[in-house]
């Protein structure tokens, strides 16, 4: 039996957001976490990972050794600060030039494979793939056509420029990695993708950081009242994520609790995204308009350790998004033993075990959301049961598993690329890597 080819070094492209940025505000979210978690785990398996991202500060060093086996290359492309994500397509040429120059410093075949994240990176990876003669694996993370089909109220549709750009990447990539079967189906039906070239790989959670712990200790650390009921939203504050739905749904629950001397608090963790503002002013105003301003707390984006305390401190975590290709927050909360009430969209229907580790709500009707949250709070036994099921459900999703599946996708991409391009650098590196694999095996 021939051994599967394994890349020795991967060029991972993440144009619009750096894995070193704090997630939970601006353009930094689940993709940053995904890139960082999979890069470090691939590196632990002996695969060198070089991440190309756009420099967003004059103080960014061009090359950063971020972790053993993981290098971040900050490519200068356009102004460091203040460049809106919508203006990034105009910087792709400069960015690609930076990527090609970095590779040109080495002998041909320096990278065995390219993995691009989000369509902007896919455009860069497409050109690099053709120049370097190695396979391109692409992960879209979100798809414009899917987002446009379920827009939040007041949200603007993704432009045709992105839809066309995504289509080109889908057509060009050697393999596509998607989060769920639903996303695979969407890629086939909306982008006419070849199902045989799609690998479904669930993202994960860092199950060591996100683990159950003392709720009272978490509340004490966060300065939360030990006796309040806490309903939490975590993520980038933008219409697509619908934190306003949580506020509106919680308002009658908070008002009713007040009448009986109980207290319910909404905790919103994260920063604005897409507004350029420092504060989520519209959401703060909405809380006041609903008469619950004093029962809503806002926390700026939190690092993972503190975020785990947020999940532990919460009675329920809600994810009311209009679309979500997976929803890492839902898995992280359950990994901490906290049930999740989520919209029944995209990957959330995989991330939450409906009726077991949480609830899935159809649509965004505020009354339905109030009923779902209220119904759970009114049945403590059910909540206890869900807390029990939350962690085991989350344990199915680990970054180790994600990385194993990614490696399988890389092998398949290298194999099919070598078969289609027998004289290419990629074919030579697939042959070399199979020999390396055999050597590694013989030492085991
Ligand atoms: N996050 C964080 N700190 C915060 C808020 C969010 O580290 O204050 C992280 C969170 O842990 C999760 C990611 O941001 O891993 C958000 O991912 P998700 O898939 O839920 O949403 P996305 O940002 O991809 O739309």
Distance from Cα 23 to the centre of ligand 1, integer Å: 6
Distance from Cα 32 to the centre of ligand 1, integer Å: 8
**Cα gap 9→32, rounded to integer Å:** 20
Distance from Cα 37 to the centre of ligand 1, integer Å: 13
| Residue 197 and residue 270 in one domain | no
Domain that holds residue 123: 9-203+398-442
| Residue 264 and residue 116 in one domain | no
In-domain check, residue 411: yes
State both tokens at 214: 């003392």
CA nearest ligand 1 atom 24, residue: 30
pLDDT in tens, 155-164: 889 999 999 9
| Residue 414 and residue 377 in one domain | no
Cβ contact 229:315 at 8 Å: yes
pLDDT in tens, 17-28: 999 999 998 889
Which ligand 1 atom is the nearest neighbour of the CA of 240?
A: 25
Order of strands across the sheet that contains 358-361? 296-299, 264-269, 229-234, 316-319, 340-343, 358-361
| Residue 331 and residue 234 in one domain | yes
Establish whether residue 347 lines the binding site of ligand 1, counting it when its CB lies within 6 angstroms of any ligand atom: no
Alpha-carbon torsion (83, 85, 88, 89), positive or negative: negative
Q: What is the residue whose two structure tokens read 């960082």?
A: 36
pLDDT of 442 strictly over 60: no
Establish whether residue 234 lines the binding site of ligand 1, counting it when its CB lies within 6 angstroms of any ligand atom: yes
| 300 marked among binding-site residues | no
In-domain check, residue 1: no
pLDDT in tens, 276-308: 778 899 999 999 999 999 999 999 999 999 999
Radius of gyration of the chain (CA): 22
In-domain check, residue 105: yes
Cβ contact 222:269 at 8 Å: no
Cβ contact 112:134 at 8 Å: yes
| Residue 261 and residue 224 in one domain | yes
For a substitution probing ligand 1, which of 33, 85, 336 has the most ligand atoms within 8 Å of its CB?
33
Percent of the chain at pLDDT > 70 equals 98
Domain end, chosen from 394, 419, 434, is at 394
| Residue 347 and residue 226 in one domain | yes
Tell which residue, 362, 341, 359, 356, has the closest CA to residue 396: 356
pLDDT of 178 strictly over 60: yes
State both tokens at 352: 């939450």
**Cα gap 81→118, rounded to integer Å:** 20
| Residue 368 and residue 257 in one domain | yes
Within 8 A by CB and 6+ apart from 307, the residues are: 24, 234, 269, 332
Give the CA dihedral 94, 99, 104, 108, nearest 10 degrees: -140
pLDDT at position 439 is 59
| Residue 165 and residue 221 in one domain | no
| Residue 336 and residue 425 in one domain | no
Establish whether residue 69 lines the binding site of ligand 1, counting it when its CB lies within 6 angstroms of any ligand atom: no
CATH number at 304 reads 3.40.50.2000
Q: What is the mean pLDDT of residues 82-87?
A: 90
Q: What are phi and psi of 264, to 5 degrees?
A: -125, 135
Cβ contact 72:32 at 8 Å: no
Structural domain count, the chain: 2
In-domain check, residue 361: yes
Q: Residue 50: how many CB atoms within 10 A of its CB? A: 21
For a substitution probing ligand 1, which of 143, 180, 233, 234 has the most ligand atoms within 8 Å of its CB?
234
Distance from Cα 244 to the centre of ligand 1, integer Å: 17
**Alpha helices (H) in 224-341, listed in sequence order:** 243-259, 281-289, 304-313, 328-335
pLDDT at position 435 is 74
Establish whether residue 235 lines the binding site of ligand 1, counting it when its CB lies within 6 angstroms of any ligand atom: yes
Tell which residue, 10, 209, 219, has the closest CA to residue 115: 10
| Residue 274 and residue 144 in one domain | no
CA nearest ligand 1 atom 17, residue: 30
**Cα gap 233→73, rounded to integer Å:** 33
| Residue 287 and residue 415 in one domain | no
pLDDT at position 444 is 41
pLDDT of 388 strictly over 80: yes
**Cα gap 65→73, rounded to integer Å:** 9
């Amino acid at each position: 039996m021939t051994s599967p080819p394994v890349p020795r070094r991967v060029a991972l492209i993440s144009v619009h957001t750096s894995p070193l940025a704090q997630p939970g505000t601006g353009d930094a979210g689940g993709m940053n976490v995904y890139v960082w978690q999979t890069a470090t785990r691939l590196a632990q398996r002996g695969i060198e990972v070089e991440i190309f991202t756009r420099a967003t500060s004059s103080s960014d060093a061009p090359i950063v050794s971020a972790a053993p086996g993981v290098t971040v290359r900050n490519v200068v492309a356009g102004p460091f600060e203040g460049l809106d994500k919508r203006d990034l397509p105009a910087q792709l040429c400069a960015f690609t030039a930076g990527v090609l120059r970095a590779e040109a410093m080495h002998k041909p075949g320096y990278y065995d494979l390219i993995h691009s994240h989000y369509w902007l990176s896919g455009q860069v990876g497409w050109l690099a793939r053709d120049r370097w003669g190695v396979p391109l694996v692409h992960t879209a993370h979100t798809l414009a056509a899917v987002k446009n089909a379920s827009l939040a109220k007041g949200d603007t549709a993704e432009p045709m420029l992105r839809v066309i750009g995504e289509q080109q990447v889908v057509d060009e990539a050697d393999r596509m990695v998607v989060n769920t079967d639903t996303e695979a189906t969407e890629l086939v039906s909306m982008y006419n993708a070849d199902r045989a070239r799609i690998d479904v790989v669930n993202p994960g959670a860092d199950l060591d950081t996100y683990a159950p712990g003392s709720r009272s200790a978490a509340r004490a650390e966060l300065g939360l009242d030990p006796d309040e009921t806490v309903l939490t939203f975590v993520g980038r504050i933008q219409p697509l994520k619908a934190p306003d739905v949580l506020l509106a749904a919680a308002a009658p629950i908070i008002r009713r609790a007040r009448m009986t001397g109980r207290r319910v608090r909404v905790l919103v963790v994260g920063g604005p995204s897409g507004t350029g503002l420092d504060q989520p002013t519209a959401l703060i105003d909405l809380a006041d308009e609903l008469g619950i301003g004093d029962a809503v707390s806002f926390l700026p984006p939190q690092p993972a350790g503190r975020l785990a305390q947020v999940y532990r401190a919460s009675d329920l975590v809600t994810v009311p998004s209009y679309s979500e290709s997976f929803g890492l927050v839902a898995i992280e909360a359950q990994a901490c033993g906290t049930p999740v009430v989520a919209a029944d969209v995209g990957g959330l229907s995989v991330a939450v075990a409906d009726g077991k580790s949480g609830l899935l709500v159809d649509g965004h009707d505020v009354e339905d959301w109030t009923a779902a949250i209220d119904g759970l709070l009114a049945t403590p036994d059910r909540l206890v049961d869900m807390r029990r099921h939350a962690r085991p459900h989350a344990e199915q999703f680990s970054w180790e598993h994600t990385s194993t599946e990614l490696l399988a996708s890389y092998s398949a991409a290298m194999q099919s690329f070598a078969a289609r391009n027998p004289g290419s650098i990629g074919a030579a590196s697939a042959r070399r890597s199979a020999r390396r694999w055999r050597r590694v095996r013989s030492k085991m």
